[in-house]
Structure 1
């Protein structure tokens, strides 16, 4: 069984970000557990993953927080460490929407560079990632930068921009290096990108911000997908915000859930194969010891 952990984007909510528009259906809670069931003879129909949603404070307008993506990643890493406390560490699949995907990447970079045994154990347990509309090379951040004004979170919103973001450039280099250096224990990754234009923020006549500004493609496909071997990119016929909001009988959910089922299933199968291999090696070593004795 795997642990599947979802991380929302900027201004998101651990549950609300994944709730269908104008409804109460929350797919990580209501649909994902039943979508992720075993397909082999031993676990057919049984859940193959536990689902966890992670939340963090990241409001844009009127924010008093000066935290950066690196700060959020440190908090996320601390929460993940709870999974390492037991001796039976399950394989981990991370799902990130928008900035949540950048938090995931920053966390993996930090773990990969650590000499701490627990950090190394956690890093090796992360075997799959699903990126939803993650701005790997930046996004159209004009309206959210305007909403942040000159607040303490302005550097955070600036770092998301496709216009010469030093942070994203450095992160992309570090993450690609991580993937190449760990090719032997490769992390399975799939990508989803939006195909619908999103409304942007605009001040109304009363000076209040509303999402009725010019429509834009906030994260184009080229930014939402990393260019490396084994890439799997999938379109979602949604706006940036709504690409992770699905109803129970949503056609887009049916497509997305199939990809997530394949990803998690592959991770679980690989884990089973590794456990079988280690058990065989242990048995062979024991047999040799007996023969030698």
Structure 2
């Protein structure tokens, strides 16, 4: 079977990112589906986090030409710059456009959203400032001491997202001649896998562990989110369907992190015979090496 892509669908316990705010109120991003509202982490936010933690953005160069954009030229392109694997459009002089080598879906919560606002203030800093100026924190309206109460919605829940990497596109740039060597291609994909396996997010100053608690996928002949429609969670239980099992049996892996975040772990182990998350990602890294290096 001619493998062309690496596809994964992941269940992770992660926070949502934030969208528009109104005054001193910040709200999480949401999506409407199945006649209900669900919290989410947008694909843009998720992709940016993966790009940063994979190290793909370490060699990023930007420039401003009307808009801030990634720097691209004959000497700096996706062949020798990992940051440009995520796609670019550069309008400096000649316009160059290249699509991304990998695609991420929104990470959408498995349960509908219930508002959980959190209330805060900067009382300590305002008090410190007032004290240094000989002012009173008891009269914030009269004294400009910078006292500011604020609130934000909080959400950390099981979310599902998919990622698919185009293995044939890695290290190539159709706008310029040449391509990266096989070892560099393998290293780029492995860096993405490392980031997904150990993903963490910083949200409102808090560190959020967004590692997979369940993952399914592998190398595929189809460049699509192969498991997107068969991985579903209801009431913290993974739905184990015949279609999910049939898809896994076509040369793919399932991985489970034992921590009781999914309430039917015993059923998952009995029906799917999953690897540990570490074992699964080790196998994926090995298959990527074999794909590029033989």
Q: Which TM-score bucket, shorter chain as reference?
A: under 0.3
Q: TM-score, normalised by structure 1?
A: 0.27
Which has a greater percent of strand?
2
Q: TM-score, normalised by structure 2?
A: 0.27
State the structure with more CA Rg. 2
Which has a greater percent of helix?
1
